[in-house]
Amino acid sequence: MLDLTWLLIAVPLASSIVLMLAGKRANPWGHWVGVAASGSTFIVGLGAFIQMLGLDSEERAHAVHLFSWIPGGELNLDAGLLVDPLSMTFVLLVSFVGTLIHVYSVAYMEHDPNRRIFFAYLNLFVAAMLLLVLADSYLLLFVGWEGVGLASYLLIGFWNYKPEYATAAKKAFVVNRIGDIGLIIAMGLMFAYLGAVDFETVFAEAPAASTATLTAIGLTLLLAACGKSAQFPLQSWLGDAMAGPTPVSALIHAATMVTAGVYLIVRSAPIYAGAPAAQTAVAAVGAFTLVLGALIGMAKDDIKKALAASTMSQIGYMMLAAGLGPVGYAFAIFHLVTHGFFKAGMFLGAGSVMHGMKDQVDMRRYGALRTAMVTTWITFGLGWLAILGIPPFSGFWSKDKIIESAFVGEGAQPWILGGAALIGAGLTAFYMSRLFFMTFHGKARWTDDQHPHESPAMMTVPMIILAVGSAFLGLILAVGDRFAVWLEPVTGHVEHHEPVLPVPVLIAATLILVALGVWVAWRKYGAADVPETAPAASLSTIAARNDMFQDSVNRAVFERPGTHLTRTLVYADAAIVDAAVDKQAEAWGKTGETVRRTQNGQVRSYALTMLVGLVIVIIIVVQGGL
Amino acid sequence: MDPINFVILAAILFAIGSAAVLLRRNAIIAFMGVELMLNAANLSLVSFSRIHGEIDGQVMAFFVMVVAAAEVVVGLAIIIAVFRARQTISLDEPSELKG
Amino acid sequence: MVNPLLFWIIAALTVIPSLSLLFARKAVHVAMAIVLVMVGLAAAYVALGAPFLGVVQIVVYTGAVMMLFLFVLMLVGVDQREDLKETIKGQRWIGLLAAGGLGAFLVSVVARVALPVQEETVGEPDVIAEVLFQRYVLVIEVLGFLLITAAVGALVLTHAPRLKPRRTQLEVQRDRVRVGANPVNKPMPGVYARHNALDVPALDPEGQPIEDSVSRVLKIRHQTQDGAEFRAQLEDPARKDTEEGR
């Protein structure tokens, strides 16, 4: 099965192409082709996983050579796949969650006339995402990286007849491109200083490279990760990306694609090992984003945007863990997996709610849905408990480990990072509880024409499966550090480090903060009445509602100066560059005008020139003894 | 007398021929200058053939004559064509290629 | 070794006529001078032990090439006199300097060369033929192609396609009447048999000479007589009598 991993990419890609080209005749069966393609990836992935379990941990990195890709002089690159525990984790996550969301989408998108195209895009995404995680070189990874970016763009703008949705798609695309520039520069640096872009060579050469080189590569990779994973300062696209259909938000903008940045950082561990400054930057970005996302999440009334803010914040946790170095890599991926389950589950729950509420997304018009949508309530509730980090649900096992790891270290760093993680846990508890209570508890604040109802089984079954995962996956994987041991061939074995505070104290502190957050949220949104329109609020709330003015900041810091810079450059181009070229052309014209006179059209003149030249040549030949 | 003197004679004839090409405006006279230059070259070939005691120089001179005959045919045909078009064979007349 | 007297004769026979290239005004004179040069060169070839080449030189150059030149000269007009005044600024002096410099330089270089002269190899036709048709047979073939191509090329170049249909005599006559020209033949020249009558205009009944009766060519050459003398004879009875009395 390990050698068949290329099927993981080929099958969904082929299915995607078929669905795109088949036209309307594929309408009756197209979505099932999509589901089958996605399901087959899970089967292949599972087979490969079982085969890998049978191997010793040292032999679990399996290289699949596909073809010679760029046979060019110094850059000689083969396209190949690297199947190791890390990529296998992603394969299972992407194919499993992806398949569930495919099934969910069959029902969710039932009334959309372009359902087959939607599935074509979803399959394209699955193919690209699997290529991203399976690639054995940065360049092939980049192909997948761009592929998921394209799929994300297409799916955010799936309903592009609404201008604001099309704009959101464009925004995501443009912001992602900024991150891509980071990855391109990183690859250029690798090629220039390490001589290759494939993982094997780069990681073998990395320890010998200078700290400055590795720091530069690390920071550019961080830029790439920030773009893809919506981390500060490139976080602005994620909220708007919720314009896409909800299954897309669940699959791409919560569970898989946005975590590609974390994958990139963890995969590049050997580079960060030699660049402590870049590593610290990763952790700092993660810590800052997790608080920022949590603050934004506290004020959002749009259920999907609140979840998007939460995603941002949770990925901040992962980046923080990834920035801690080998101590945190395993926990970053662990949290990524559990988050993939519970956040996807909650997004599907949100989709289910919207399905029942005629696409209403304002939580102020929800309330008391627990009676109308019991299954959704329970599954969402399990996700809620998981993200809160209540033992024994999944989030507890992964998030608490990150908080613990953040407190490891010396000097001020553990107190800052750990403090941010701890506060973030409390804030998370508050805004997730606020979301949960506003949606499912309190009084009904529905508009008159809304008659909430439970979604069909094809939607609830995936939600149930994900909810089960949210509840127990963490426990299963955390027992005996199974997950960390599984990832050891990639992340390396790490001795246990003692945090600056005792572990029980940290757990207790976390749980107290979480309980506090839940209690405040209950007092405000569960027990009390929630106004149907957002009340006037303090400056800080307004800031949070407006995503911390991220768009205004971007406009003031980048767009306006950029516009002026461009105008200046255009002027300079016309006044200096063009003028110089014009003057030069003029000079050449005048030279030509002068030289032209030698071409007088008189054959005898030409003959004279020839003869004079002949005399000169003969004299040179004879006298020079040539 | 040393046959090398014929080479000197050839050089003089060549110079006269080239001067004719440069100075005369009548196309036919200039063309005869070209012929004189070719013959000067032939003379030097034959002289060297004599000096080295090899027959190849004469053969080369023969080839030059054949090529010159072909050249004369085409060249005179061109002169006639130009004359038909312009009623003159002055070399200064056709200067359409003036830059 | 060559007889010095022969050499000097040949040198005079080639250099002096070839100077006509620079100084003669009429192309015909130049062509005839070049024929002399060619003959001189043929003599030089014979003197240098190349009798076959000497004969070929006579046949090809004096017999064919120079005759071709003369034909073309006849075609474009024998009488074209060339104005030797230079029109391109500096062309004459730079040209003379370059040509003279080339000649002087070559002469000075060659004069310093001393080559051992080998045993004479006489270029009899059979000797040449062996070399030509054995070692150089391929070149001969190629030259054959070249000559054919040149001949065809000359035909193509000199062929003038008829652009308009040929005018018949009838049409020519109609056009002449239309523009009001004299519809009949011009009068014949030369009414007086005592002279070469072609160069004398005819006299009309009033005794006036008719200029149109004389050939245009003779007029251009200034070889005509104006006929006044004969008119005087007509009017002078004394002279008329002497005529009659003879």
Distance from C-alpha of A484 to C-alpha of A490, rounded to nearest angstrom:
10
The pLDDT value recorded for residue C41 is 94
At A543 the pLDDT is 76
**Token code pair at residue A414:** 């553990």
Reported as half-sphere exposure (CB side, CA atoms, 13 A), residue C57 has a value of 29
Does residue A21 sit in helix, strand or coil?
A: helix
pLDDT classification of C194: cutoffs 50, 70, 90: low
Picking from C43, C78, C113, the residue at the C-terminal end of a domain is: C78
Quote the distance between the C-alpha of residue C132 and its chain's center: 34
Kindly state whether C153 is in contact with chain A, defined as any CB-CB distance less than 8 angstroms.
no
A612: which chain C residues are within 8 Å (Cβ-Cβ)? 94, 98
Distance CA A364, CA A519 (A): 19
**A76 at the C interface (CB within 8 A)?**
no
pLDDT of C245 above 50: no
Instruction: Please state, in angstroms and rounded to a whole number, the distance separating the CA atoms of residues A319 and A213.
Output: 22
- Candidates A604, A606, A610, A620, partner chain C, best to mutate (most C CBs within 10 A): A604
Write the pLDDT tens digit of every residue in C115-132.
888 888 888 889 899 999
Query: Predicted confidence band at B44 (pLDDT cuts at 50, 70, 90)?
Result: very high
Contact A605 C102 (CB under 8 A): no
C108 lies in a domain? no
d(CA B88, CA C76): 8
| Regions of chain A where pLDDT drops below 70 | 1, 625-626
Amino acid at A391: P
Using an 8 Å Cβ cutoff, are A342 and A394 in contact?
yes
Task: Check pLDDT > 70 for residue C246.
Answer: no
In a domain? residue C171 = no
ipTM surpasses cut 0.90: yes
As given in the structure block, the two tokens for residue C212 are 């149109």
- Count helices and strands (H / E) in chain C: 12, 2
Is C95 close to A608, i.e. CB distance below 8 A?
yes
CA dihedral A343, A345, A351, A352 (to 10 degrees): -150
Residues of chain B contacting A608 with CB distance shorter than 8 Å: 22
Locate the chain B residue with the closest alpha carbon to A594. B99
Which of the two residues, C212 and C102, has the higher pLDDT score? Answer: C102
Return the CA Rg of chain B: 17
Q: In which residue are the tokens 């009001």 written?
A: C180
Q: Which residues does residue A62 pair with via DSSP β-bridges, in sequence order? A: A83
> Is C148 an 8 Å CB contact of chain B?
no
The ranges assigned to domains in chain B are: 4-86
Inside any domain, residue C157: no
Reply yes or no on whether the pLDDT at C237 is more than 70: no
Tell me the two tokens of residue C9: 């004769």
- Contact of A189 with A173, CB cutoff 8 Å: no
Q: Which residues in B lie closer than 8 A to residue C30 (C-beta atoms)?
A: 29, 32
Q: Please state, in angstroms and rounded to a whole number, the distance separating the CA atoms of residues A584 and A51.
A: 69
Question: Is C61 within the bounds of a domain?
Answer: yes
* Region C226-244 average pLDDT: 60
Q: How far is C117 from chain B (nearest CA, A)?
A: 5
SS3 A155: helix
Strands C202-203 and A75-83: unpaired
Please write the tens of the pLDDT for every residue from A316-340.
Answer: 989 898 888 888 888 888 888 898 8
CATH architecture observed for domain B4-86: Orthogonal Bundle (1.10)
Residues in B closer than 8 angstroms to C117, CB to CB, are: 2-3, 50-51
A368-398 in b/e form (b: 16+ CB < 10 A) is: ebbebbebbbbbbbbbbbbbbbbeebbbbbb
d(CA A178, CA A51): 39
Is residue C233 scored above 80 in pLDDT?
A: no
Distance between the two ends of chain C, CA-based, in angstroms? 73
Mean pLDDT of C61-88: 81
A-chain CB neighbours of B22 within 8 Å are 604, 607-608, 611
Task: Indicate the Cα dihedral angle C141, C143, C149, C154, nearest 10°.
Answer: -150
Residue found under tokens 């009390």: A528
Residues 6+ apart with CB under 8 A from A320: A283, A286, A287, A290, A328, A402, A406, A417, A420, A421
Are A604 and C102 within 8 A, CB to CB? no
CATH number at residue C42: 1.20.120.1200
**Measuring CA to CA, which residue among A232, A254, A253, A259 is closest to residue A241?**
A253
CB within 8 Å: C57 and B65: yes
Domain assignment of residue C144, yes or no? no
Q: Enumerate the residues of chain B whose CB falls inside 8 A of the CB of residue C49.
A: 49-50
Distance, CA of B88 to CA of B79 (rounded, Å): 9
Helix, strand, coil proportions of chain B in percent (round to 5)?
80, 0, 20
Out of C78, C113, C145, pick the residue that ends a domain: C78
Residue C242 has pLDDT above 60, yes or no: no
Integer angstrom CA distances of residue A363 from A353, A376, A379, A430, C195: 10, 15, 18, 15, 136
Candidates A258, A355, A265, A268; CA nearest to A308 is: A258
pLDDT at C81: 65
**Chain A residues close to C22, C-beta within 8 Å:** none
Identify whether C244 is part of a domain. no
Q: State which residue of chain A sits closest to B31, comparing Cα positions.
A: A604
Classify residue A482 as left (phi > 0), alpha (psi -120 to 50) or beta: alpha
SS3 C44: helix
Model confidence pLDDT, tens digit, residues C76-97? 876 666 666 777 778 888 889 9
Interchain CB distance below 8 Å, B46 and C50? yes
pTM of the full structure: 0.63
The fraction of chain C above a pLDDT of 90, given in percent, is: 37
Sign, CA torsion A492/A493/A497/A499:
positive
Number of Cβ atoms within 10 Å of the Cβ of B16: 24
B85 interfaces chain C, CB cutoff of 8 Å: no
Beta bridge partners of C210: C202
- Chain A to chain C Cβ contacts (< 8 Å): 28
First to last CA, chain A: 74
Task: Provide the number of CB pairs (under 8 Å) joining chain B to chain C.
Answer: 234
Both tokens of A528, joined, read: 């009390």
Asked if residue A292 lies in contact with residue A312, where contact means CB atoms within 8 angstroms, the answer is yes
Tell me, yes or no, whether C20 lies in a domain: yes
Residues 163-222 of C with CB under 8 A from A: none
Adjacent-strand bridge partners of C202: C210
- Between C224 and A144, where is the model more confident? A144
Q: How many other β-carbons are positioned within 10 Å of the β-carbon of residue A50?
A: 10
Other Cβ atoms within 10 Å of C222 Cβ, number: 6
Burial grade of C123 (CB within 10 A; 0-12, 13-18, 19 or more): buried
Residue A76 pairs with which residues in a beta bridge? A71
CB contact under 8 Å between C98 and A618, yes or no, is no
- For residue C69, the enclosing domain spans 1-78
In whole angstroms, give the CA distance from residue B41 to residue B47. Answer: 10
Is residue A227 within 8 Å of A178, Cβ to Cβ?
yes
Contacts of C116-119 with C-beta under 8 Å, sequence gap 24+, read: C117/B2, C117/B3, C117/B50, C117/B51, C117/C1, C118/B51, C118/B52, C118/B53, C118/B54, C119/B53
Q: With an 8 Å Cβ cutoff, are B16 and C19 in contact?
A: yes
Question: Are the Cβ atoms of A611 and C98 closer than 8 angstroms?
Answer: yes
Q: Count up the domains in chain C and report the number.
A: 2
Q: Within an 8 Å CB–CB cutoff, is residue A610 touching chain C?
A: no
Closest by CA to A119, choosing from A111, A129, A109, is: A109
Cα-Cα-Cα-Cα dihedral sign, residues C7, C12, C13, C16: positive
- Start-to-end CA distance of chain B, whole Å, equals 52
A612 interfaces chain C, CB cutoff of 8 Å: yes
Dihedral sign for Cα atoms in the order B14, B19, B20, B22: positive
